[in-house]
Amino acid sequence: MLTVAALYHFTRFADPAALRQGLLDLCLAQGVKGSLLLAGEGVNGTIAGTRDGIDAVLAHIRAMPGCATLMHKESQAATMPFGRMKVRLKREIVTMGQPDVDPLAGVGHYVTPADWNALIAAPDVAVIDTRNAYEVQIGSFTGAHDPQTHSFREFPAWWQANKDRFHGKRIAMFCTGGIRCEKSTNYLLGQGVQDVYHLQGGILKYLEQVPAAESLWQG
């Protein structure tokens, strides 16, 4: 079996281009395949390989500036899910197109999967799905608002057009693995929203930890 590791980490790389070749060379040497994005704001991606190969690459990433606390999620695959290894330089590791958004400056309150149900059932809480429309069609949480965006870039405009609907509400946000909510909650804080929460580990962690009999996920 091969190990698949999904990861992201916000930090500040002064020169992400200088990190690219060493990371790519190690992945190739270890037979690791997948895609990693490097930007001034951090690293994001999914890779697959042998246990030793994945461990070597994760150790390398954690040795990069500000990445010692990198968290990742693992799954198993019987066959290699990727055709090659890519390490690409990007402006953002998840594209929102808002230069002032900086998760390192502050994000919403993290809510564990165990506490999520109670939060989103509260009458003063509005739940917002930050994923794209095609993802929402597959499933979502009961009562969640769907911005019907086709890309994450559209989320700020949707918020500006709809924010009056959420006046006086606490905002609970979620996404697949958590990375979008790092930015969306920082964005709302910057817009003056006081009480912003997001699902720690995203939908994937919720489905992993919450028993089906207790789940509020529909899909």
Residues 114 and 170 both lie in one domain: yes
**How far apart (Å, rounded) are the C-alpha atoms in residues 45 and 23?**
13
- Full-model pTM: 0.92
CB 53 within 8 A of CB 31: yes
Residues 116 and 71 both lie in one domain: no
> What CATH code is carried by the domain that includes residue 209?
3.40.250.10
> Judging by DSSP bridges, how do beta strands 33-39 and 85-89 pair with one another?
parallel
pLDDT in tens, 62-111: 999 999 999 999 999 999 999 999 999 999 999 999 999 999 999 999 99
95 found inside a domain: no
> What CATH code is carried by the domain that includes residue 21?
3.30.70.100
Which of 27, 67, 175, 181 is labelled catalytic?
Answer: 175
CB 175 within 8 A of CB 131: yes
pLDDT of residue 166: 97
Tally of domains within the chain? 2
- Of the three residues 89, 120, 141, the one that is the final residue of a domain is 89
Kindly report the number of other CB atoms within 10 A of residue 212's CB atom.
Answer: 7
Q: Provide, for the chain, the percentages of residues in helix, strand and coil under a 3-state DSSP scheme, each rounded to the nearest 5.
A: 35, 25, 35
Residues 83 and 121 both lie in one domain: no
- Of the three residues 35, 59, 89, the one that is the final residue of a domain is 89
Residues 84 and 46 both lie in one domain: yes
pLDDT of residue 141: 98
Please confirm, yes or no, whether 175 is among the known catalytic residues. yes
pLDDT of residue 153: 98
98 found inside a domain: no
pLDDT of residue 124: 98
Domain that holds residue 158: 103-218
Residues 134 and 187 both lie in one domain: yes
Residues lower than pLDDT 50 in the chain? none
> For residue 43, what are the β-bridge partners?
9, 38
